[in-house]
Every structure is written in structure tokens, then in C-alpha cells.
Amino acid sequence: KAGVTQTPRYLIKTRGQQVTLSCSPISGHRSVSWYQQTPGQGLQFLFEYFSETQRNKGNFPGRFSGRQFSNSRSEMNVSTLELGDSALYLCASSPTGAGGSPLHFGNGTRLTVT
């Protein structure tokens, strides 16, 4: 099985712009989660989607949004970029997202905001 695929791998944007990141989960996985990792920090939960519905949301401003399509692929959007949004954005999938299920991560999208 192919793993979780995130595109693009790297992005450089300017403050005030918006960006869209893409994630293709493992085939058959219906739960997709997004995490932000900044230097020296753990993974901060952004949101989780299951069957095209946002099931959980973390403590991030409304500038961060996402969606999931019927094929379970997911996109994450950040509007009005700020310097502090520079981070590694990780997507993870699991079959159902049931408690205790291991998450399968992609290699991330490295976003740099200048």
C-alpha cells in the first residue's frame, strides 16, 4: 500500500498570502488529521476529518481551515499568512481514527513565510 502523500514538500510564501496544502491518505483510511510542528515543539493538533466532516478541532485561529473530499483526500488552507505560521505541517491518516489507533503520517509540507 502506498503511504500518506503530502504535496508540496516545500513552500515559500509571503506574509498576507494564503496557501493550500494537500494530503492523500492511505487507501481505505477515512480519518485524516492535520498537525503543526514548529522548531523544538511537539505536534500541535489542528483538526480531524472523517467522512468529509470535521470531527475534532484544535486551538488554532479561523485562518486555518480544512476540508475532506469523498475519496478521503484532504486539503488544509491557511489565509492571511503570518511569520509564525512557518512550520512543518503533517497529515496523518487512520482507518477510522478510533481511540488507540496508530496514526500514519506523511512526510509533511515545510511552509516558510517571509
Partner 1 sequence: DQQVKQNSPSLSVQEGRISILNCDYTNSMFDYFLWYKKYPAEGPTFLISISSIKDKNEDGRFTVFLNKSAKHLSLHIVPSQPGDSAVYFCAASAFETNAGKSTFGDGTTLTVKP
- Could you list the residues that contact partner 1 (CB under 8 A)? 4, 31-33, 35, 40-45, 48, 50, 55-56, 58, 90, 92, 94, 97-108
Q: How far is the CB of 23 from partner 1 (least distance, A)?
A: 11
Which 3 state secondary structure label does DSSP give 94?
Answer: strand
Q: Which of 13, 104 has the CB closer to partner 1? A: 104
Cell readout for 23 is: 494530503
Q: How far is the CB of 15 from partner 1 (least distance, A)?
A: 26
Q: How far is the CB of 45 from partner 1 (least distance, A)?
A: 5
Cell readout for 99 is: 481511540
Parallel, antiparallel or unpaired: strands 104-105 and 87-94? antiparallel
- 57 residue type, one letter: K
